[in-house]
Structures are given as C-alpha cells and as structure tokens.
Amino acid sequence: MDYSGTTRARQLTSLQTATTAARRIVGPIPADIRTELVRKSIHMAIALVPVLARTIGTVATMSLLALGTVFYAVAEIERLSGRPVFVVGRLTAMAQRRRDFGHFVMGPVTLGLGAMAALLLYPYPAAAIAIYALAFGDGLASLVGKAFGRHSLPFSRGTKSLEGSLACFASVFAASSVFLSNSIHSLLVALVATALEAAPGKDMDNLLLPVGTGMVVVLLL
C-alpha cells in the first residue's frame, strides 16, 4: 500500500505546527527586518569574490563582476520601466527600502564596484580583507543595527547604531585575524572599517569601506 500521500500530509502538518509554535515564541518578523535580511543576504554573497579570484584569477573575476553589474543595471532600468526582468526584478523589489521606492537602487552597483576596486588596487590578502569587511562588516552592521539597535551614533541621523558598529568591528576583526598574525594590526583594521561603515554616505559606503580598509592593510603589511 502506498503511504506516500499520508506521509507528506503528516510532514506538512508537522511543519505548519512547528512554524506556528515558532511564531508564538519569537513573534512575526517585522517587514523592515525581512527586507534587510534579503538585502544583506545578497550583499554578503560578495564574500565569494576572494575565493573566485584565487580560483579562476583576478582578471576573470573582475570580468564576471563587471558583467553582473551591467546586467543588474539594465535589469533595474527595465524594472523602473514596468518590464521587470525575471528573478532579478523580483529580488530588487523585495530588497528595496522605503527610500528606494520609485528610484534606481544603487546598492548592487556600488557593491560590485567596491569589490572590483579592492581587486584592482590591492594585492592578496589586502583585497580579501577589504572585501570581507564589505561583505560581513557592512552586512552584519545593518542586520544587527536594524534588529537590535537602540543607541544611535552621533551625526548619523538615526541611520547607524552603536550595536551595528560593534557587530561591524567584531566581524572585521575576526576576518582580519585569519590573515594577519599581529592582533594589533587586526584591531587597527577593524577600527578603521568600523569608522568608515559608520560614516554617513548611504550606498557609497560600499566603495569607501573596501577601498579604505584595503589601504590600511597595505600600509600595515
């Protein structure tokens, strides 16, 4: 006798029960945090770039980044024209913040440019640390700040928090420590990256953070 239909029904019921229980415990996830999760999941995928550069070469990796950035820009123009490109347009719509409604979302463009700048300007491992600072430092700062931020930083107009900056510092320090044997150097890199991430600049921090962090690493090596 085929029990597959019954088994699937039981699994679905168990999943629904678990989901309902989880929602009772943690409550529904606010819309702005869901949006930030989508945004920063895409953002942190840039951490794959150093691995690609070591595997297929810097030139090939930069070519892929350039191609992806141009493709996204074209897809974003199409989305704003009412002709969203399959998957890309939907992801952008899911990830856009309130300030982005009706506008070209620049984040992915500056993200790609920031990673390319790090590869172009700095040797390994400075380029890798710079890109990890961009991926995890900026990414975790936004997620932690959005979810747990309670103390706004001065001059940030409420867009940056102490909690987010601490998450940035910890993640960049951890990433730097993998490559740098001197913990003081890792500390300095993390401090500079945290300051750059906290500076007001909207999506331009995707450029400033890797370029500034990479420069500090090169000076220390």
The per-residue pLDDT for range 17-58, each reduced to its tens digit, is: 434 443 444 445 565 666 667 667 777 889 999 999 999 999
Torsion of CA 214, 70, 39, 202, to 10 degrees: 60
Judge contact between 174 and 167, C-beta under 8 A: no
In this model, does residue 8 exceed pLDDT 70? no
Q: What percent of the chain has pLDDT over 70?
A: 70
The DSSP H or E segment spanning 13 is helix 4-26
What is the reported pLDDT for 15?
Answer: 38
In this model, does residue 128 exceed pLDDT 80? yes
Overall average pLDDT of the 98-120 stretch: 83
SS3 of 82, please?
Answer: coil
Query: Which is it for the CA torsion 176, 179, 185, 189, positive or negative?
Result: negative
Overall average pLDDT of the 144-172 stretch: 80
Q: Which of 69, 110, 92 is nearest to 201 (CA)?
A: 110
Three-state SS sequence of 116-170: HHHHHHCCCCHHHHHHHHHHHHHHHHHHHHHHHCCCECCCCCCCCEHHHHHHHHH
* Residue ranges of domains in the chain: 31-220
CB proximity list for 19: less than 8 A, separation 6 or greater: none
Overall average pLDDT of the 193-197 stretch: 91
| Identity at 191, one-letter amino acid code | L
Q: In the predicted model, what is the mean pLDDT of the chain?
A: 79
What is the reported pLDDT for 14?
Answer: 42
Q: What percent of the chain has pLDDT over 90?
A: 42
- Joined together, the tokens standing for residue 40 give 């920063």
pTM beyond 0.75: the answer is yes
